[in-house]
Amino acid sequence: MSAPALPRYGSLEQELVAGEQMREQMREDAPAASRAASSLQWVRWTIGQPIRGQHCRISIMDAVTTPLRCFSEGHAAQMFADDGVETVTSVEQKKVERTIEEVFSVYKQIHSLPQPTLLREQHYQYLKKGLRHLSDAYECLDASRPWLCFWILHSLELLEEPIPSAVASDVCQFLARCQTPTGGFAGGPGQHAHLAPTYAAVNALCIIGTEESYGIIDREKLLDFLWSVKQPDGSFVMHVGGEVDIRSAYCAASVASLTNIVTPTLFETTPTWILRCQNWEGGLSGVPGLEAHGGYTFCGTAALVILGKEHMLDLKALLRWVVSRQMRFEGGFQGRCNKLVDGCYSFWQAGLLPLLHRALFKEGESELSRQRWMFEQQALQEYILLCCQNPTGGLLDKPGKSRDFYHTCYCLSGLSVAQHFGNMDLHHEMIVGREENRLAPTHPIYNICPDKVARALQHFHRLPVPEDTRQAPPPRAGPASTSADPRS
Ligand SMILES: [Zn+2]
């Protein structure tokens, strides 16, 4: 079989066109068709080659004879075997597996039909309350308040719960107070600008998606802030005087591309620096020379996709690393080799698979599936639905842990990735449990819903890219240029 034609999609401008086509279709079509179009337009650039007549929805609910994976014979054989060598981590791993085995077993005793349910109403109530009131336990996140806005708003959009306009406006006004006079957003009013809350604030404002929310972002000053944290080697520090790591490159690339302030030199040599973070394991680390890690790997890969350089990664090594992070017994993902399963990696790791699918397609891989991502989507959904839901709302790391907004956001984001494969013409859903478990799809680069990405791009691409003639200073000679590089 000859390799399929390379996709013609790929640039942000093309997403803009796709967004316009989507809205056109939404005006013309019935609600069901428009929902599919709006939710899946991003994959238009992901796979790029439609197959007519393959709109398809698989629901495990419809096939009650299909057993849950965790109830199948032989599932217990997937448990960890230490081969008689006990270590601190092997003991912890076995402890977690026993807890999860207990959860599966209790579920099996109570339910005659395997229909795990997403506790939508409970999650909605938990999230709604969090927008207005947080318990004392969140005091430690006083420097991460835009994150709380993003985690809650994104969770609500995945649940397809509208945000009342008065609440949206209050969030806008709060985030406006977090924007600093020198550009970028801080973790709270009166604090210093930092790339992480800047990413969270811009994402939250794009989810709200109103003229008011877009108008809050001072794009010229945001560009000044990005230059103030850019380093001579292409990396970024998280804040002025702060640490370098790969999250900063992603946060910078994400906000700059969404708000249309990417200038010719802003990301010069950034891809080269990110590529140095891919190590012998296949995943990426926070800085060159360290251990591969799910969160950092997502950030580095997504940043390279934005900058159009993902083909420079060793894609096959990355694929092998990430699929090996899905736990055989639990079904969820671990963040690093030899670590325990954690619900938040449902997005940081599983979210890599759409990026890899697209990258490998662009490289001419002809054997890629047109129905599934390259991980066990059913197993991940079972882990999230059975092991990560607090019965009174909110999601969590693993059984026994408490709920929080971070894990709620990333468990739901991962569940969405596991439910949706497809593009505008090739659309395949796999919903474990009831039909009502279906979440809205999420954009695998920005992790906000695809129609919000299209709308933001359309808004900001009407505005000119700010004038910018700045250049990064040349790299200093000496030790800085000979940092630990696994490729050197
Ligand atoms: Zn976690």
d(CA 22, CA 184): 31
Among 224, 404, 425, 451, which one carries the catalytic annotation? 404
Q: Examine the pLDDT at 28 and tell me if it is beyond 50.
A: no
Among 145, 325, 357, 407, which one carries the catalytic annotation? 407
Confidence of residue 470 (pLDDT cuts 50, 70, 90): confident
pLDDT computed for residue 479 by the predictor: 47
CA 96 to ligand 1 center in whole angstroms: 14
Q: How many CA atoms lie within 13 A of 378 on its CB side?
A: 16
Pairing of strands 56-59, 420-422: unpaired
CA 293 to ligand 1 center in whole angstroms: 12
Q: Examine the pLDDT at 131 and tell me if it is beyond 90.
A: no
pLDDT computed for residue 94 by the predictor: 97
293 is catalytic: yes
pLDDT computed for residue 431 by the predictor: 95
Q: Map residue 72 onto helix, strand or coil.
A: coil
Mean pLDDT of 164-173: 95
Helix (H), strand (E), coil (C) string for 331-397: CCEECCCCCCECCCHHHHCCCHHHHHHHHHHHCCCCCCCCCCCCCCHHHHHHHHHHHCECCCCCECC
| Cβ–Cβ under 8 Å, residues 209 and 195 | no
Range of 67-81, 309-323, 417-431 with top mean pLDDT: 309-323
Chain-centre distance for alpha carbon 182: 28
Confidence of residue 425 (pLDDT cuts 50, 70, 90): low
Q: Map residue 433 onto helix, strand or coil.
A: coil
Q: Examine the pLDDT at 148 and tell me if it is beyond 50.
A: yes
425 is catalytic: no
336 is catalytic: yes
397 is catalytic: yes
Residue with the bigger pLDDT between 11 and 302: it is 302
339 is catalytic: yes
Among 55, 94, 192, 339, which one carries the catalytic annotation? 339
d(CA 69, CA 418): 14
Please count the other Cβ atoms lying within 10 Å of the Cβ belonging to residue 144: 19
Among 9, 107, 214, 345, which one carries the catalytic annotation? 345
CA 14 to ligand 1 center in whole angstroms: 34
| Cβ–Cβ under 8 Å, residues 394 and 324 | no
407 is catalytic: yes
170 is catalytic: no
pLDDT (tens digit per residue) in 341-395: 999 999 999 999 999 999 999 999 989 998 999 999 999 999 999 999 999 999 9
CA 442 to ligand 1 center in whole angstroms: 19
Among 218, 224, 233, 397, which one carries the catalytic annotation? 397
CA 334 to ligand 1 center in whole angstroms: 9
| Cβ–Cβ under 8 Å, residues 96 and 398 | yes
Mean pLDDT of the chain: 86
Between the CA of residue 208 and those of 105, 111, 166, 211, 214, what are the distances in Å?
41, 39, 11, 9, 9
Mean pLDDT of 64-68: 63
314 is catalytic: no
CA 10 to ligand 1 center in whole angstroms: 31
pTM tops 0.75: yes
Q: Examine the pLDDT at 247 and tell me if it is beyond 90.
A: yes
pLDDT computed for residue 424 by the predictor: 55
Per-position b or e across 299-319, b if 16+ CB within 10 A of its CB: bbbbbbbbbebbeebebebbb
Between the CA of residue 127 and those of 124, 157, 210, what are the distances in Å?
5, 11, 21
Q: Which residues surround ligand 1, an ion (CB under 5 A)?
A: 342, 344, 397
pLDDT computed for residue 114 by the predictor: 74
Mean pLDDT of 261-272: 96
Residue with the bigger pLDDT between 113 and 268: it is 268
pLDDT computed for residue 65 by the predictor: 43
Mean pLDDT of 315-330: 98
Q: What angle do CA 81, 285, 250 make, to 5 degrees?
A: 130
Sheet arrangement for strand 427-431: 56-59, 427-431, 420-422
Among 218, 233, 342, 425, which one carries the catalytic annotation? 342
Between the CA of residue 312 and those of 147, 317, 441, what are the distances in Å?
31, 12, 28
pLDDT computed for residue 2 by the predictor: 37
111 is catalytic: no
